[in-house]
């Protein structure tokens, strides 16, 4: 019997299936009007608090301790029994964020260790069932955020070192976990979607989901579109982002950059350096750790933190600054102090950040620019001469003044650009801001 026609039929069937999968995955994603409004809010908000908190904080060695120390699941499951954050005070956390000038909080609902920081009915591997504390900290935080007008995002790890169906395993969480060398990845994704449904149903308005961990199984079929559509169906205004270090996938609403400003790659994460047209966010640690790390005393100072916020705004990106709370539920005093210092600066100069967009000039060695309406803010971060010449962008200047006290600034516009005369006495070692009113 001549098999050729069957071969041809089979090949076209396979091609058909692949093209269908590709087309549905790549199917154009149109954000709803609510989602577009959220994107505007997000870009105006500019500044958020990232919180990496979980049972791993008990060991004081960061959020990767299970993988770093290769702690098998059976043993790691003992740690929740030691997790009793009786000093946890959602009000204090939210007040701290507000006082720093932050408009939203992004907290780890589940990190790579697979432990749920909420009262999950899908798995009893959670804070209510497995810890002496027994209370739903996400509920307490969500209620407080709602009261204080602070929006709440949930970080959610796609990577899971605990779940038996996270199989085949990826680059991390190998055989040392002690899990059986078998499993059904789609069952794991069903589990993940079920837990996401809880988070998007039982905690009021959720501003968005901050995914992480896809990089553990780069080529797996993560059913992204199914999960993203689920989120947009449950909460149309919620923003989806995924820290996969690639160009955004259809269904995503913002793009994050870890420890880098958009387009930079000092960490080696963003090999693709793909900066899309979605709203952008840069996340960074306030010391050198995401989760609480006892030995980490690399606390960043006021100037570094404020300039990071300003530079991110100059790149048109938000700044999501992370703290790793301690196992007792308190924030490290050094971090509370630094956030207070940032808050004092933002109270005075926040108008040159909030509601702005990056530009009109791209970032320069001397600093960045932000713009809002007919006003351009020149943020001089790294320049010490009284005369600074910057490129013109085709619009004429009506007036120039020091933002802080409205002292007029002399300026010259010619073919060489715009030369600003910054009085030495008006220079600020963190950020000298010149407000330009354009014609
Ligand atoms: O592995 C995680 C890490 O623990 C942390 O959550 C950061 C936050 O952006 N993201 C991953 C590392 O790229």
pLDDT in tens, the chain (439 residues): 565 666 777 767 666 655 555 555 556 899 999 999 999 999 999 999 999 999 999 999 999 999 999 999 999 999 999 999 999 999 999 999 999 999 999 999 999 999 999 999 999 999 999 999 999 999 999 999 999 999 999 999 999 999 999 999 999 999 999 999 999 999 999 999 999 999 999 999 999 999 999 999 999 999 999 999 999 999 999 999 999 999 999 999 999 999 999 999 888 876 666 888 999 999 999 999 999 999 999 999 999 999 999 999 999 999 999 999 999 999 999 999 999 999 999 999 999 999 999 999 999 999 999 999 999 999 999 999 999 999 999 999 999 999 999 999 999 999 999 999 999 999 999 999 999 999 9
CA of 258, closest atom in ligand 1: 9
CA of 283, closest atom in ligand 1: 9
Q: What is the 3-state secondary structure (H, E, C) of 352-402?
A: HCCCCEECCCCCCCCEEEEEECCEEEEEECCCCCCEEEECCCCCCEEEEEE
> Is residue 145 lining ligand 1, measured as CB closer than 6 Å?
no
pLDDT of residue 15: 61
CA of 245, closest atom in ligand 1: 13
Compute the distance from residue 406 Cα to the ligand 1 centre, in Å. Answer: 42
> Is residue 172 lining ligand 1, measured as CB closer than 6 Å?
no
Question: Cis omega (within 30 of 0) on the bond before 168?
Answer: yes
pLDDT of residue 273: 62
Rounded Cα gap, residues 36 and 237, in angstroms: 8
- Give, using CA atoms, the residue closest to atom 13 of ligand 1: 258
- Strand 255-258 versus strand 239-242 pairing type: unpaired
pLDDT of residue 181: 95
pTM of the model: 0.94
> Is residue 290 lining ligand 1, measured as CB closer than 6 Å?
yes
> Is residue 212 lining ligand 1, measured as CB closer than 6 Å?
yes
Compute the distance from residue 285 Cα to the ligand 1 centre, in Å. Answer: 10
Q: What is the 3-state secondary structure (H, E, C) of 40-68?
A: HHHHHHCEEEEECCCHHHHHCECCCHHHH
Q: What's the chain's length in residues?
A: 439
pLDDT of residue 13: 66
- Give, using CA atoms, the residue closest to atom 10 of ligand 1: 212
């Amino acid at each position: 019997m001549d098999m050729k026609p069957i071969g041809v039929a089979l090949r076209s069937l396979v091609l058909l299936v692949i093209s269908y999968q590709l087309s549905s995955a790549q199917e154009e994603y149109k954000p709803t009007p609510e989602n577009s409004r959220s994107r505007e809010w997000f870009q105006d908000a500019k500044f958020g608090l990232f919180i990496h908190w979980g049972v791993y904080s008990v060991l004081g060695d960061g959020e990767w301790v299970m993988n770093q120390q290769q702690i098998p699941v059976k043993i790691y499951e003992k740690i929740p029994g030691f997790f009793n954050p009786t000093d946890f005070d959602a009000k204090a956390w939210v007040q701290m964020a507000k006082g720093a000038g932050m408009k939203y909080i992004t907290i780890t609902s589940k990190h790579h260790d697979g432990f749920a920081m909420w009262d999950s009915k899908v798995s009893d591997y959670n804070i209510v069932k497995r810890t002496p504390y027994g209370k739903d900290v996400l509920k307490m935080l969500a209620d407080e955020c709602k009261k204080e007008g602070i929006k709440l995002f949930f970080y959610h790890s796609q990577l899971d070192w605990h779940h038996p169906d996270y199989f085949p395993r990826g680059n991390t969480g190998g055989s040392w976990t002690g899990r059986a060398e078998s499993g059904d990845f789609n069952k794991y994704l069903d589990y993940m979607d079920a837990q996401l449904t809880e988070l998007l149903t039982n905690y009021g308005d959720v501003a968005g989901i901050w995914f992480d961990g896809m990089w553990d199984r780069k080529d797996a079929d993560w059913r992204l579109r199914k999960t993203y559509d689920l989120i947009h169906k449950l909460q149309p205004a919620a923003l989806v982002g995924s820290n996969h270090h690639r160009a955004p996938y259809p269904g995503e609403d913002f793009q994050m950059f870890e420890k880098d400003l958009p387009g930079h790659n000092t960490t080696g994460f963003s090999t693709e350096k793909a900066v899309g047209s979605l709203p952008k966010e840069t996340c960074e640690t306030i010391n050198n750790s995401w989760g609480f790390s006892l030995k980490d005393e690399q606390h960043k100072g006021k100037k570094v933190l404020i300039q990071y916020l300003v530079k991110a705004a100059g790149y048109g990106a938000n700044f999501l600054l992370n703290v790793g709370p301690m196992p007792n539920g308190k924030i490290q005093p050094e971090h509370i102090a630094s956030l207070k210092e940032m808050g004092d600066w933002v109270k005075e100069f926040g108008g040159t950040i909030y509601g702005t967009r990056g530009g009109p000039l791209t970032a320069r060695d001397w600093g960045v620019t932000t713009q809002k309406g007919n006003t351009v803010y020149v943020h001089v971060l790294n320049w010490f001469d009284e005369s600074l010449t910057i490129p013109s962008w085709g619009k004429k200047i009506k007036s120039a003044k020091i933002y802080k006290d409205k002292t007029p600034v002399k300026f010259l516009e010619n073919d060489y650009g715009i030369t600003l005369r910054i009085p030495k006495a008006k220079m600020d070692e963190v950020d000298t801001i010149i407000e330009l009113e354009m014609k």
